[in-house]
């Protein structure tokens, strides 16, 4: 018989070991016991014998209500899933000769993204002769970096990738 799936436990007659380390219904260690004796104790308690650690020598089994055990495990998994947050990388595109009002609008979005906990990728796109004036783009990115100040840390400093300059910022916690 194959090993059980990650979330499945062997219970009662599906346990293959001859001896098991038994934990009784009260959570107290009962020691190493023969499997038939452990099954008998579980039946007397009106509960299930569940193999909780199959890789141990001998395997560890607990006497408990299997349905309640699965329900509690599912509740824990759902609570953990609710708490996790996926960090997205949001992109803001600018040009080296960006006007002040456009710059301010884009910076409001940068601040909003950082407050939400997302990373921000600032892309400076070049067209035509703008590529010869990378120092202007560098000044704009330096201004962005100064403006976000303590709210963000620079994860990737400005660098050229083809016809664009990229800088990545992450929220400072």
DSSP per residue, 81-113: HHH--PPPEEEEEE-TT--HHHHHHHHHHHHHH
CA distances from residue 106 to 94, 138, 143 in whole angstroms, order as listed: 8, 17, 13
Judge contact between 166 and 156, C-beta under 8 A: yes
Residue 28: pLDDT over 50: yes
Measured distance between the N- and C-terminal CA atoms of the chain, rounded to whole angstroms = 49
Q: Of residues 27 and 65, which shows the higher confidence score? A: 65
How far is it, in rounded angstroms, from Cα 72 to Cα 34? 28
CB within 8 A of 26, min separation 6: which ones?
none
Q: What is the pLDDT confidence band of residue 6, given thresholds at 50, 70 and 90?
A: low
CB within 8 A of 3, min separation 6: which ones?
54
Q: Is the dihedral of CA 8, 10, 13, 16 positive or negative?
A: positive
pLDDT per position as a tens digit, 73-87: 889 888 888 887 777
CA atoms within 13 Å, Cβ hemisphere of 143: 15
pLDDT of residue 40: 84
pLDDT per position as a tens digit, 114-145: 988 899 999 999 998 888 888 999 999 999 99
pLDDT per position as a tens digit, 95-114: 999 999 999 999 999 999 99
CA distances from residue 52 to 28, 55, 134 in whole angstroms, order as listed: 15, 9, 62
Q: What is the pLDDT confidence band of residue 4, given thresholds at 50, 70 and 90?
A: very low
């Amino acid at each position: 018989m194959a090993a059980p799936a990650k979330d499945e436990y062997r219970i009662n007659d599906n346990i293959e070991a001859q001896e098991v380390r038994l934990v009784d219904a009260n959570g107290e260690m009962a020691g190493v016991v023969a499997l038939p004796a452990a099954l008998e104790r579980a039946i007397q308690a009106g509960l299930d014998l569940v193999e909780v650690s199959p890789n141990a020598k001998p395997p560890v089994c607990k006497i408990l209500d299997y349905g309640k055990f699965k329900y509690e495990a599912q509740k824990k998994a759902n609570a953990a899933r609710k708490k996790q947050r996926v960090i997205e990388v949001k992109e803001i595109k600018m040009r080296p000769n960006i006007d002040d009002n456009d710059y301010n609008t884009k910076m409001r979005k940068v601040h909003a993204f950082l407050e939400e906990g997302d990373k921000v990728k600032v892309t400076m796109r070049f067209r035509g002769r703008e590529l010869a004036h990378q120092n202007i783009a560098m000044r704009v990115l330096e201004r962005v970096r100064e403006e976000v100040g303590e709210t963000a840390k620079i994860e990737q400093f400005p660098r050229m990738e083809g016809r664009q300059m990229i800088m990545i910022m992450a929220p400072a916690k």
